[in-house]
Amino acid sequence: MPGHWSFDELKRHVTNGEIDTVLACFVDMQGRLIGKRFHANFFVESAHDETHGCNYLLANDIDMEPVPGYKAASWKQGYGDFVIKPDLSTIRHIPWLEKCALVLCDILDHHHHEDLAHSPRAILKRQLARLKERGYLAYFASELEFYLFDETYETARAKHWKGMATASPYIQDYVIQMTTKEDAVMRAIRNGLFDAGIPVENSKGEWGPGQEEINVRYAEALEMADRHVVMKNGCKEIATQMGKAITFMAKYDYSLAGSSSHVHNSLWSADGKTPLFFDKKAEHTMSPLMRQWVAGQLKYADDFTYFLAPYINSYKRFQAGTFAPTKNVWSLDNRTAGFRLCGEGTKGIRIECRIGGADLNPYLAFAGLIASGLAGIDEKLELGAPFQGDAYGGTRLKEIPKTLRDATDTLARSRMLKEALGEDVVEHYVHTAKWEQFEYDRRVTDWELHRGFERY
């Protein structure tokens, strides 16, 4: 695979003068790459072992403002350091940045050098350790949808993010002639990501004007989450270099299709060779293990919806007739349901969770899906019959949480997640969600100005 390098290969490229910058990045609660740009010589000589950063970076909001009330970091505690520990197995070339390589990092406690439990990568690694204990390997794939604009971020900001020109004025789902006009950007994204060691399969137009989707090959869960965050960051950087803007908001315009991140997941043997979800003699070729896994995800979907929909805006995506789900049901190849069976009759059989938006943090989303799936196995849950028909019209079906407040309350009450992730971890993200709600509730919106500016 082009782009992936060992540490020895990185040192050789640095010595040859082909690389002069190394990005040492970790993932924050919002799923963004946070870190430092190292002079490559210093990185290979010293900083490859560890560096440090302020612990407020996992205790702030999307605007990078410190949020009061966290146990893990606060003004009272003085906002000290944590350790940023490069995972040298994640080194990759970043071809769209000049002479640049990137390494993803784990976050460790500054004193005892163990994984910081509330860091997103550590949360997923804890669930993968639970799988490993049972002899399971999880394969995941996350699709990403986004809107591409014939705007720069500066012109979009000047327009107050209203009336922006999308790359196409028409719905372009799968339409080649429409997406050809945008392929200068999309080709640069496909090739750039591939050369960075991310195996891109395809891109396509989506169900919105100027909306795109990019798909990459499935991988072991941690590798897939790593690909997801590098891919998302790369798409924005490449678009910016070409004078364009991209948004991964779940619902940037209420009248247009939302942007999803559907997550496919399955269990395999520890060596990754035997599919544990496939039973050619079983109904729908779903093994008993798969049925329990899916039943757990259905039972606990409300508990981890926050990990799939982390913002106020996320819940505006859940609208009937938009290919975004509103009901927590499973189905056979039915895009109106929250969970869809894919690959029936093949070794690639898997369940697709359609609840998540493109704004999700993949480490948290994957961890929630694994924790709930394991709960289904431990509880030996029975999976009911698949839903048939239009789930949007099913008035008696279980609803996906309608608001962030609803999802936060369910997360706060979740005994399953507290046991699987740790009570302090759940409390940390409940506090994050409540701050998002607080910030929204106290702001004056355009709707309020429109109604009240001249009227009272």
Residues 30 and 96 in one domain: yes
Residues 78 and 180 in one domain: no
Question: What local confidence, expressed as pLDDT, does residue 455 receive?
Answer: 64
Domain residues for 141?
127-448
Q: Check which CATH number belongs to the domain holding 47 and give it.
A: 3.10.20.70
Q: Is residue 456 part of a domain?
A: no
Q: Is residue 1 part of a domain?
A: no
The neighbour count for residue 326, using CB atoms within 10 Å, is 22
Which amino acid belongs to residue 257? A
| Residue closest to 259 by CA, chosen among 245, 249, 271, 269 | 249
When divided into structural domains, the chain yields a total of 2
Residues 223 and 294 in one domain: yes
pLDDT in tens, the chain (456 residues): 467 899 999 999 999 999 999 999 999 999 999 999 999 999 999 999 999 999 999 999 998 999 999 999 999 999 999 999 999 999 999 999 999 999 999 999 988 899 999 999 999 999 999 999 999 999 999 999 999 999 999 998 898 888 889 999 888 888 888 888 899 999 999 999 999 999 999 999 899 999 999 999 999 999 999 999 999 999 999 999 999 999 999 999 888 999 999 999 999 999 999 999 999 999 999 999 999 999 999 999 999 999 999 999 999 999 998 889 999 999 998 999 999 999 999 999 999 999 999 999 999 999 999 999 999 999 999 999 999 999 998 778 899 999 999 999 999 999 999 999 999 999 999 999 999 998 888 877 776 667 776 666
Beta strands in 66-128 (DSSP E): 81-86, 92-93, 100-108
d(C-alpha 256, C-alpha 247), whole Å: 13
Residues 280 and 156 in one domain: yes
d(C-alpha 242, C-alpha 154), whole Å: 13
- Helices (DSSP H) in 114-242: which residue ranges? 120-133, 153-158, 176-180, 183-195, 221-241
Residues 208 and 324 in one domain: yes
DSSP state of 309: -
Residue 74's Cβ-count burial label (10 Å; 0-12, 13-18, 19+) is middle
| Spatial CB neighbours of 415, under 8 Å, sequence gap ≥ 6 | none
| Residue closest to 124 by CA, chosen among 224, 215, 230, 216 | 224
Residues 37 and 107 in one domain: yes
Q: For residue 202, which phi and psi values (nearest 5 degrees)?
A: -165, 165
Question: What local confidence, expressed as pLDDT, does residue 173 receive?
Answer: 86
| Spatial CB neighbours of 45, under 8 Å, sequence gap ≥ 6 | none
Residues forming a β-bridge with 278: 286
Measured at the CA of 134, the angle between CA 128 and CA 139, to 5 degrees, comes to 45
d(C-alpha 115, C-alpha 426), whole Å: 16
The residue with tokens 């961890």 is: 367
Residues 34 and 67 in one domain: yes
Which amino acid belongs to residue 412? A
Residues 435 and 330 in one domain: yes
